């Protein structure tokens, strides 16, 4: 696909083989709602690179991790967990796309566990009218889930940066900060790649636009709040399926730690259908379905915490068909 056309929206994401079903579902939602587009995928391990080559998803370009890993990245790789290293890579995804296609005007980074329910052009229209260089989306926390002090005001989930002098200056600043520190623990006001975004409106006030359409960027931490307090009719552009995990080939953990109103369970049902389709395609392509297992996921949970989540309806599972 010719990604030079202005009508084509360029997105980038990154994931390893454990997140392949989610990445496939993200891609499917773009095919349904975001035509025309091109998706650049940074393959965080060699296995997912090979799997994606087998799948040959349309309108996708693969970027192997080894083509991104600079001397600076390799120097700190062993010191960081898998998650921390993925966060460290995020600014490099923009650089990788712009280096490969310097004619592209902008790129939007997407978390792999996003799923689109409507065309994102309504978001891009607001950004274009702002005439700024970077688009940020807020977490938009419900008061009972407010974690701004820990995770930051803004979420990396959907982040657009223009390929111009100002945009690339901000990418370089972010890259350098992530190389310095990208911890999964709060350190001196820093958390992962995300807390750095909090200071962008201060450091780059003429370049940053904060999306006003919070109701179009929903997640477990705000979906019930928008319905209860704003009375919105919900048809979001995307939903961020944070905390959803494939426990094993038959069981999906839909969410935990959040109380999701029954009105919004259909979001999860629709996403589950997409995941099932992704898993079926993987099965037909002889790609193994990886999982995290109950023990590895819940090994730090106490019985008291389990009971609390169950009583308060802050945890939900979904049984999948047998793919054997």
Q: What is the pLDDT along the chain (324 residues), one digit of tens a residue?
A: 444 445 899 999 999 999 999 999 999 999 999 989 999 999 999 999 999 999 999 999 999 999 999 999 999 999 999 999 999 999 999 999 999 999 999 999 999 999 999 999 999 999 999 999 999 999 999 999 999 999 999 999 999 999 999 999 999 999 999 999 999 999 998 999 999 999 999 999 999 999 999 999 999 999 988 877 666 666 899 999 998 999 888 889 999 889 998 888 999 999 999 999 999 999 999 998 887 666 666 666 677 777 778 777 888 889 988 765
**Structural domains of the chain in order of their starting residue, each with its CATH number:** 9-218 (3.90.550.10), 243-319 (no CATH)
Instruction: Answer for the pair 123, 213: CB distance below 8 angstroms, yes or no.
Output: yes
Contact 88, 68 (CB under 8 A): no
pTM of the complete model: 0.94
Tokens representing 318 are 């979904």
| Burial call 41-64: b when 16+ CB within 10 Å, e when fewer | bbbbeebbbebbeebebebbbbbb
Alpha helices per DSSP H over 112-250: 121-130, 148-151, 165-180, 200-203, 223-225
Helix or strand run (H / E) with residue 307: helix 303-311
Please identify which residue in the block is written with the tokens 């109701």: 215
């Amino acid at each position: 696909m010719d990604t030079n056309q202005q009508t084509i929206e360029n997105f980038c994401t990154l994931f390893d083989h454990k997140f392949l079903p989610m990445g496939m579902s993200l891609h499917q939602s773009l095919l349904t709602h975001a035509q025309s587009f091109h998706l650049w995928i940074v393959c965080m391990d060699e296995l997912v690179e090979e799997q994606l080559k087998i799948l040959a998803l349309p309108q996708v370009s693969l970027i192997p991790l080894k083509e991104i890993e600079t001397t600076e990245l390799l120097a700190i790789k062993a010191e960081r967990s898998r998650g921390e290293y993925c966060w460290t890579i995020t600014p490099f995804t923009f650089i990788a796309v712009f280096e490969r296609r310097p004619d592209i005007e902008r790129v939007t980074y997407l978390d792999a566990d996003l799923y689109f329910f409507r065309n994102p052009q309504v978001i891009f229209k607001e950004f274009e009218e702002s005439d700024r260089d970077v688009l940020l989306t807020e977490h938009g926390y419900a008061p009972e889930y407010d974690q701004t002090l820990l995770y930051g005001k803004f979420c990396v989930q959907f982040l657009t940066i223009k390929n111009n002098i100002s945009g690339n200056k901000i990418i370089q600043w972010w890259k350098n900060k992530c190389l310095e520190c990208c911890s999964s623990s709060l350190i001196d006001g820093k958390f992962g790649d995300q807390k750095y975004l909090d200071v962008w409106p201060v450091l780059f006030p003429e370049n940053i636009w904060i999306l006003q359409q919070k109701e179009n960027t929903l997640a477990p931490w705000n979906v019930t709040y928008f319905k209860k307090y704003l009375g919105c009719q919900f048809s979001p552009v995307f939903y961020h399926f944070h905390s959803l995990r494939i426990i094993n080939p038959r069981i999906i953990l839909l969410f935990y730690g959040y109380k999701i109103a029954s009105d919004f369970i259909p979001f999860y049902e629709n996403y589950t259908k997409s995941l099932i389709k992704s898993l079926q395609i993987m099965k037909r392509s002889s790609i193994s379905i990886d999982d995290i297992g109950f023990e590895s996921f819940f090994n730090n949970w106490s019985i008291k915490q389990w009971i609390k989540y169950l009583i308060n309806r802050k945890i939900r599972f979904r049984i999948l068909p047998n793919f054997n």
